[in-house]
Structure 1
Amino acid sequence: MAALNGNTLPDSVYVALDARPKKDEYHWAIVVTNTHNAPDLYHASNLTGPWQFLTRAIRRSSDFSMALIVLVKVGTVVVENKPDISSAIQQVPADDEPSRRTGEAFSCRIWAKDALAHLAASGSAVLEGDVDALEEMARRYAADYAARAETGEGATIVNSPTIGARISGATTASGDS
């Protein structure tokens, strides 16, 4: 994978969107950085069979999926509750059952939204907006940065996202849009 365009920030919560075969469809994951800016990735996957919760440490940009399009900062870790953030995420079921929060059919996107909502409700993170607004914002950034990632220019990190605003300069942004 090409280098990431931008850098993550410490004690932050990101949504990671990876390309999928169909246009405007993405694999959704959550990335949380610690005080030392070391990210951990959390997601629900059914690539090897039934849906399951997966997590892994990201220590180099090559540890991210080659299909990664964008990391969008959606929240900040509440430092006092940081030890609980991983266990809070793991409490969100990845079991192919409808969302206990909304009743929507299970998918990696629904799992990520439920996990974000749980992080906020548990006091583990402060989100930049409600989960539906964050989803729409992340989709817009993914659509705008997809061509850049798919042509080998690498994934983009967005640290100052704007909910509801049109994204401009996607082809030249440094990742701090």
Structure 2
Amino acid sequence: MPASNKDRLYVALYARGGQDPNTYHWAIIVGPKEEEEGGRGYRYHVRQRLDPARPGRLIWAYESLEIPLVQTSMLLGRIMIAKITDKAQIRSTLAAVPAIQDDPSWTCRIWVKDAITALEADGKSLGTRVTKWTTIEQNANNYIRQKRQQRRYDGSGSWVSGTVPTFDLLDNREIIP
């Protein structure tokens, strides 16, 4: 049986400058199974921006952006949670996930959780998948903690330059150290 070459859906954790090192910016990345040099994918997330209608006020804004699939200084790691069956449906479903305003307890992590729930509910976007939030969140936090303990982010060790630490939750194994 040939191997599947469907695009993959990742939960990505980014460093947040100047804040608690154990809190992250959460996003969704879609990219090809086989990453080539110069490969590109898409990042879907919400981020706070200044409200153009009310100076000094921050609002949550949805963003869909084509990105290179290489290590950046802020991208700590990815957790692969699904194979994609319909990229157009993914874009449509994620764009419809609400960004909640005026609730100080609402965050990008909650948006990612809601986005995964919406993808599961649409019945078209995802093939093989793990969408149970507690499993995703626990594995993501543990994986980044493990990478910190291995000193992955401080320039120590022998890591392949430009690679993003990646854990495959479907097979429960690390695919890029």
Scaled by the length of structure 1, the TM-score of the pair is: 0.72
Indicate which of 10, 15, 20 corresponds to 1:19: 15
- Determine whether 1:88 maps to 2:85: no
- Determine whether 1:108 maps to 2:137: no
Q: Which residue of structure 2 lines up, in the alignment, with residue 139 of structure 1?
A: 141
**1: CA distance, partners of 2:34 / 2:102:** 36
Pairs within 5 Å for 1:12-161: 12-20=8-16, 21-34=19-32, 38-48=40-50, 49-61=58-70, 65-78=72-85, 81-96=86-101, 105-123=105-123, 124-126=125-127, 127-146=129-148, 147-151=151-155, 153=159, 155-160=164-169
Equivalenced residue count is 151
**2: CA distance, partners of 1:160 / 1:133:** 9
Per-residue deviation at 1:34? Answer: 5.0
Of the two, which has the highest radius of gyration?
Answer: 2
SS at match of 2:153: helix
SS at match of 2:155: helix
Per-residue deviation at 1:36? Answer: 7.9
**2: CA distance, partners of 1:174 / 1:162:** 9
Q: Percent identity?
A: 26
Per-residue deviation at 1:138? Answer: 0.8
> 1:108–1:65: structure 2 CA closer, same or farther, 3 Å change rule?
farther
Q: More helix by proportion, 1 or 2?
A: 1
Conserved in 2, the CA contact under 8 Å of 1:70 and 1:156?
Answer: yes
Conserved in 2, the CA contact under 8 Å of 1:159 and 1:175?
Answer: no
More relative contact order in 1 or in 2 (CA 8 Å, sep 6+)?
1
Q: Which residue of structure 1 lines up, in the alignment, with residue 55 of structure 2?
A: none
> 1:137–1:92: structure 2 CA closer, same or farther, 3 Å change rule?
same
Unaligned runs of 5+ residues in structure 2 are 51-57
The worse-fitting range, judged by mean Cα deviation, of 46-55 and 105-114 is 46-55
> 1:111–1:57: structure 2 CA closer, same or farther, 3 Å change rule?
same
Which digits, 9 at most, give the CA deviation of each residue in 1:95-128, with x for residues without a partner?
A: 3366xxxxx9310000011101111111212432
Q: Which residue of structure 1 lines up, in the alignment, with residue 53 of structure 2?
A: none
The worse-fitting range, judged by mean Cα deviation, of 123-132 and 37-46 is 123-132
Conserved in 1, the CA contact under 8 Å of 2:32 and 2:41?
Answer: yes
Q: Which residue of structure 2 lines up, in the alignment, with residue 101 of structure 1?
A: none
> 1:119–1:132: structure 2 CA closer, same or farther, 3 Å change rule?
same
Unaligned runs of 5+ residues in structure 1 are 1-8, 99-103, 168-172
Scaled by the length of structure 2, the TM-score of the pair is: 0.72
> 1:125–1:133: structure 2 CA closer, same or farther, 3 Å change rule?
same
Per-residue deviation at 1:150? Answer: 3.7
